[in-house]
Amino acid sequence: MIKIEQLCIVTGVLWKGIWYAVGWGGGGLWMCREGEIGPLLSRQKESEIAKADLRWGGSGQARDNDLMLLGNKRFFDLVGKGVVKAALSGGSAEEAAGVLSPLVLGKNKGEGMAAALVVVEKLPNLQPVTEMMAESRVEQSLASGGQAGVGLKDRLRNLKNKFPKWNLWALNRRKWGWAGKDLYIRTYHPPGIGRRGTMAVGVFLLVLILGSIIVGVRIQKDRETAAGPVAQVSQRIVQAKELANISPERAREVLNEGVIIAGSIKETKKREELLGEIQELVDQLSGINRVTPVTFMDLKLVRDGIVLRDSYFDNKIWWGLDTGGQRLIKMDVASKRTEVVASKDQLGSPAALSSSADLAYVVSDKGIVEVDTKSGKARVVVASDKEWGRIVDMENFGGSLYLLDADKSAIWRYPPVEGGVGGKQRWLKSDTKAYLANAAGMSIDGSIWIAMKGGSVLKFTQGVAEPFAISGIDEPVESLAGIYTTVDVGNLYLLDSGRGRVVVVSKKGEYIRQYIASEFRRASSLVVDGSRESAVWVSVEDKVLEVRMNSL
3-state secondary structure string across 132-171:
HHHHHHHHHHHHCCCCCCCCHHHHHHHHHHCCCHHHCCCC
Q: Tell me whether residue 242 is in a domain.
A: no
Length of the chain counted residue by residue: 552
Q: Are residues 170 and 304 in the same domain?
A: no
Q: What is the pTM of this model?
A: 0.61
pLDDT (0 to 100) of residue 13 = 80
pLDDT at 47 over 90: no
Q: What is the mean pLDDT of the chain?
A: 80
Q: Find the range with the poorest average confidence among 190-194, 263-267, 393-397, 476-480.
A: 190-194
In terms of average pLDDT, the best of 132-146, 319-333, 523-537 is 319-333
Q: Sorting pLDDT into bands at 50, 70 and 90, what band is 311?
A: very high
Q: What angle do CA 54, 60, 65 make, to 5 degrees?
A: 115
Closest CA to 146 of 178, 185, 171: 178
Q: Tell me whether residue 32 is in a domain.
A: no
Q: 202 versus 307: which is more confidently predicted? A: 307
Buried b (16+ CB within 10 A) or exposed e, 411-444: bbbbeeeeeebbebeebbeeeeeeebeebbbbbb
Q: Are residues 176 and 315 in the same domain?
A: no
Of 161, 185, 209, the position where a domain reaches its end is 185
Q: Sorting pLDDT into bands at 50, 70 and 90, what band is 207?
A: low
**pLDDT digit string, tens, across residues 69-109:** 888 877 877 777 777 887 787 778 777 777 777 666 554 45
Phi-psi bin for 487: left (phi > 0), alpha (psi -120 to 50), beta? alpha
Q: 249 versus 449: which is more confidently predicted? A: 449
Q: Tell me whether residue 36 is in a domain.
A: no
Of 141, 163, 185, the position where a domain reaches its end is 185
Q: Are residues 334 and 468 in the same domain?
A: yes
pLDDT (0 to 100) of residue 478 = 96
pLDDT (0 to 100) of residue 180 = 42
Closest CA to 101 of 115, 121, 89, 90: 115
Phi-psi bin for 27: left (phi > 0), alpha (psi -120 to 50), beta? left
Q: Tell me whether residue 364 is in a domain.
A: yes
In terms of average pLDDT, the best of 64-73, 222-231, 370-379 is 370-379
Residues 6+ apart with CB under 8 A from 363: 350, 351, 352, 353, 369, 391, 394, 403
**pLDDT digit string, tens, across residues 129-185:** 444 444 444 444 444 444 444 444 455 455 455 444 434 333 333 333 434 444 444
Residue 471, domain extent: 299-551
Q: Tell me whether residue 74 is in a domain.
A: no
Q: Find the range with the poorest average confidence among 112-126, 186-200, 266-280.
A: 186-200
The predicted model gives 536-545 an average pLDDT of: 97
**Strand pairing category for 439-444 and 425-426:** unpaired
pLDDT (0 to 100) of residue 205 = 62
CATH code of residue 535? 2.120.10.30
Q: Tell me whether residue 50 is in a domain.
A: no
User: How does DSSP assign 335-367, residue by residue?
Assistant: T--EEEEE-HHHH-SEEEEEEETTEEEEEETTE
Whole-number percent of the chain with pLDDT over 70: 74
Q: Tell me whether residue 245 is in a domain.
A: no
Amino acid at 295: T
Q: Sorting pLDDT into bands at 50, 70 and 90, what band is 451?
A: very high
Q: Tell me whether residue 333 is in a domain.
A: yes
pLDDT at 254 over 60: yes
The predicted model gives 442-454 an average pLDDT of: 97
**pLDDT digit string, tens, across residues 381-434:** 999 999 999 999 999 999 999 999 999 999 999 999 988 899 999 999 999 999
Q: How many domains does the chain have?
A: 2
